[in-house]
Each structure stands twice: as structure tokens, then as C-alpha cells.
Amino acid sequence: MNRDRMSRDSKKWAITGMGWVGGRGLGRARDSQSPGWASGGPAPFKLSQVISRTEGRSGRLDEFSKLGLASAALALTDAGLDRWTAKRPIGVIASSVYGCIGTDDAYFNTVLPDEGKLSSPNLFAYTLPNCFVGETALRYGLTGPTLVINPADTTNISPLVIGLETLASGEAQALLCGFCDLEPPATIAPLDRVETGSVFMLLEPPGREDITPLATLALDGAEVTNEGEKIDDFYAFIDHLIHTLERDAR
């Protein structure tokens, strides 16, 4: 990855890897043995199934962080960028409708007994939606912009638009872009049309010689296109892309 390649075709980006954790399990685009993507709460899994370096705070991770970290890790593996020695200016932009509301609920249930004296610092440390993005950054040496977007609309297109705008302005050399959501706890009324599970894709300038892109995206004004077709809905685009890759693999 270098700046020459970034400037050569600055309005187009290749998707060089995808990873997901959903109703059928853990998968990635270049692994033909992977289960396909389907929205839904994942069956229990261990992070050691996905990442080799599970030391440190892995045991403390909340379920939301574990989900997002696993799918981001699978996307990096799929793009051949999971191994590193020096930190890299790769960013992470994720969307989440519910964020870490389940962790919030669990944390506040530790506040209630004994008038707050038993409040859990371990749980509180994960009561921000962007904490899993930070976990991804520190485990993979990613120093680019990292944020979570909470959208109000149901197309969930914002992370893709903001992600490509970030790349276009040269603020990151590559970017993990995706979404992460778990079913909300009983205290929260579910919203319509929120896909649960997590999917991430690795976006970078085209031209890498060691990998064939899964697809190419373009930014035209504030519109994102794939093969000339406008992408109106991030969820639908992900479904379309993964099903196309599965069909082509057959």
C-alpha cells in the first residue's frame, strides 16, 4: 500500500476482504468452507477461533465487543492484513443501532444492589459503543480514525459513505467498514429492520498485486456505487455481495 496507488484512482476503492459473525456462524469471503452470512444472534464462540493473540483483556470483553472484534478480525484475515509488526494508518468505521445497550443493562444491574458500592468497573469500561473498535485497533495496530456511527435511518448507508469520504480525503490508507448489533435486552423495545450480527469489509485503494478484489466501490458526490449501480442500502448490498461470491464459488 503506498501513496502513489492512493492518488492514482482516488475515487475508487477495492473490497479486499470480508468477515462476518451471524446466525450461521463465523465466516469470511475467501474461505470456501465458511458458512454464509445470515443476520441473527451468533451461537456462542470463542475468540481463539478467530484471533491468535487472545491474551490480555480478552476474558473481560463484553458480548458486543467480542462480536465486533471477531468479524473485524475475520475481514483483516480475509484481506491478508491480520499479521503486522509496525502500526498502520488503517481506520475503522462501524455502525450500530443499539450499540452496547446490553452491556449498559448488565452494568447498571451491578449498580443497584448495595447502593452502587458493587458497580463493576470491568463492565463500565465497555459501556461505550466504540470500545470494540478500540480493541480491534490495539490488537491489530490500526492507528487511523476509529468511530461508531449510530444511524437513524434503516438503510444503514452512513458508515459506507463516511468511510469512503474518509479514504477520499487521505485520512486513512485503508479502512474497515461494517456494522455490529446484538438483540437488545428486555428493557428496550426492538426497532424495525435492524440486522443483528456483524459484518466488516476491508476497503483500500485498488491495485494490490497479491490479492484479487471481491468488488470495487466508487464515490460520486455523496453516492456510493458498485459496478455503476447506486448502493441505497448497506444491509442489502452486503447480502447481494456475499450471495454473489457464493454463487461464483460454486
Partner 1 sequence: MRKVVIVAVEAVTALGDLEATWEAITAGRTGIAEVTRFPTASYNSSYAALINELECGEDESYITPLLAHLSASFANNSIPEDARLFTASTKAGVDGLERAIRGGTKARPTTLFKGLLDQVRSTFGIKDRGVNVSAACASSTIAIANATRSIGNGFPDTALVVGADIITEFVFSGFSSLRALSPLPCHPFDTGRDGLTLGEAGVAILLMSEERAAREGLTPLATISGWGASNDATHVTAPARDGCGLIEASTNALKMAGLAPGEIGALCAHGTATVFNDAMELTAFAKIFNNVFGPTPPPLVGFKGATGHTMGAAGALEVALCVKALATGTLPPTVGLNDPDERAKGWATTASTPFDGPILTSNSGFGGVNGVLILEGPR
Dihedral (CA of 223, 225, 229, 231) sign: negative
Applying CB under 8 A, which residues contact partner 1?
A: 57, 87, 91-92, 96-99, 101, 104-105, 107-109, 111-112, 114-117, 119-121, 124-125, 127-131, 133-135, 137-138, 140-153, 158, 162, 165-166, 168-169, 171, 187-189, 191, 221-222
Compute φ and ψ for 243, nearest 5 degrees.
-70, -35
- Nearest distance from C-beta of residue 80 to partner 1, angstroms: 19
- Nearest distance from C-beta of residue 109 to partner 1, angstroms: 6
- Nearest distance from C-beta of residue 123 to partner 1, angstroms: 8
Strands 223-226 and 215-220: antiparallel
| Residue with Cβ nearer partner 1 (18 or 133) | 133
- Nearest distance from C-beta of residue 59 to partner 1, angstroms: 14
Task: Give the rounded distance of the alpha carbon of 227 from its chain centre.
Answer: 23
Buried b (16+ CB within 10 A) or exposed e, 97-106: bbbbbbbbbb
CB 100 within 8 A of CB 188: no
| Residue with Cβ nearer partner 1 (24 or 88) | 88
| Residue with Cβ nearer partner 1 (111 or 218) | 111
